[in-house]
Amino acid sequence: MQFGVFSVGDVTPDPTDGSVPSEHERIKAMVAIALKAEEVGLDVFATGEHHNPPFVPSSPTTMLGFIAARTERLILSTATTLITTNDPVKIAEDYAMLQHLADGRVDLMLGRGNTGPVYPWFGQDIRMGIPLAVENYALLHELWRTDVVDWEGRFRTPLQGFTSTPRPLDGVPPFVWHGSIRSPEIAEQAAYYGDGFFANNIFWPKEHFIRLISLYRERYAHYGHGTPEQAYVGLGGQVFMRKNSQDAVREFRPYFDKAPVYGNGPSLEEFTEQTPLTVGSPQEVIDRTLAFREHFGDYQRQLFLMDHAGLPLKTVLEQLDILGEEVIPVLRREFAVNRPADVPGGPTHASQVARAAAVAV
């Protein structure tokens, strides 16, 4: 199992005092969170990609390249790389470059994002979201695996005799997760290529994601990549912790009530009952997270959202200390119990090199 954190990079007022970080402060805070994640023993830091206020991470590879230079072990990933509006050629080259700079500590999560206007900003039609995701990834997949590419599709100019540079490190592309909260077509796409499927199950009830993940596992096996249990599954989560649950709820409630995404909607109690959001003691977070295996089977990666809704950096760093010291060691131990030997661990560059070598034999 791999454990980490992801950030959407929102610039949100702190509802307790009205303070708003500058874009500069928020960007620096994301870097500080990544460095803290490595310090406390987490495996992964992932950044979102947005091109509109109030979000700051418009250039994930720039941020991740900077973090790569200041870390040694942390896997650097994205919580969304916009496969629909980014040019697949640029994705191929940017992430291969990052892969070399980080000595392989890179993977990425492809998605369509949650901002409708981004499509016309980048010359695309939101009604073509799924076809764009399918076609653009088909090209990206080929660019990383074929040295000289001839290609023609619906959404970009043709390529003739094109080679993307640099080539992937050791001839093995970064591992790809396909992220989705609602689309079975994306689960099918992940299964077809034998890639990972990340169900960012932070807003909807578990029953919805059980169906999506079950579809992905079944189709992964259908395409001959392994058994359903050997498919690569990642999950999202949200937590806020204090020593006792009453203090956690009291402190987090004003942030929840004013959060841009789910504020002014269901109560904190209703939302925590219906979604994976856990506000309470470290033991409550442990128990809630361990229950994910009962719903979704053994899986490879668990990412937590920790720095949203205007929480100050000091508080987020405190949360990461609690996560690294009191929660993750228990989760590692408990998730390892009765885990079948043929279920893969979280993907790394070394494991993907070995996987490619085994396929080639």
Percent of the chain with pLDDT over 70: 98
pLDDT of residue 42: 98
Structural element, H or E, at residue 256:
helix 245-258
Q: What percent of the chain has pLDDT over 90?
A: 81
pLDDT digits (tens, 9 = 90+) for 239-270: 999 999 999 999 999 999 988 777 678 899 99
**Residue 180: predicted pLDDT:** 83
Beta-ladder partners of 261: none
- What's the total number of domains in the chain? 1
- Whether residue 118 contacts residue 85, with contact meaning beta carbons closer than 8 Å, is answered with yes
pLDDT tier at 73 (50, 70, 90 boundaries)?
very high
> What pTM value is reported for the model?
0.95
Supply the CATH number for residue 105's domain: 3.20.20.30
pLDDT in tens, 136-151: 999 999 999 999 999 9
pLDDT at 114 over 70: no
pLDDT value, residue 202: 67
Helix (H) or strand (E) holding 280: strand 278-280
At 282 the pLDDT is: 98
Poorest-confidence range of 68-77, 160-169, 177-186, 300-309?
A: 177-186
Which letter, b or e, does each residue of 126-161 get, where b requires 16 or more Cβ atoms within 10 Å of its Cβ? eeebeebbbbbbbbbbbbbeeeebebebebbeebee
Q: Per residue in 310-328, pLDDT tens?
A: 999 999 999 999 999 999 9
CA–CA separation, 194 vs 219, rounded Å?
A: 9
On average, the pLDDT of the chain sits at 94
Q: State the average pLDDT over residues 209-234.
A: 96
Residue 117's pLDDT is: 82
Beta-strand ranges (E) seen in 21-101 are 44-47, 75-78, 81-82
d(Cα 342, Cα 359) in Å, to the nearest integer?
16
* Range(s) of the domain holding residue 266: 2-360
Listed residue (343, 346, 331) closest to 292, CA to CA: 331
**Amino acid sitting at position 95:** Y
217-229 tens-digit pLDDT: 999 999 999 999 9
User: Taking phi first (over 0 means left), then psi (-120 to 50 degrees means alpha), and beta for anything else, what does residue 304 get?
Assistant: beta
Q: Is the pLDDT of residue 152 over 90?
A: yes
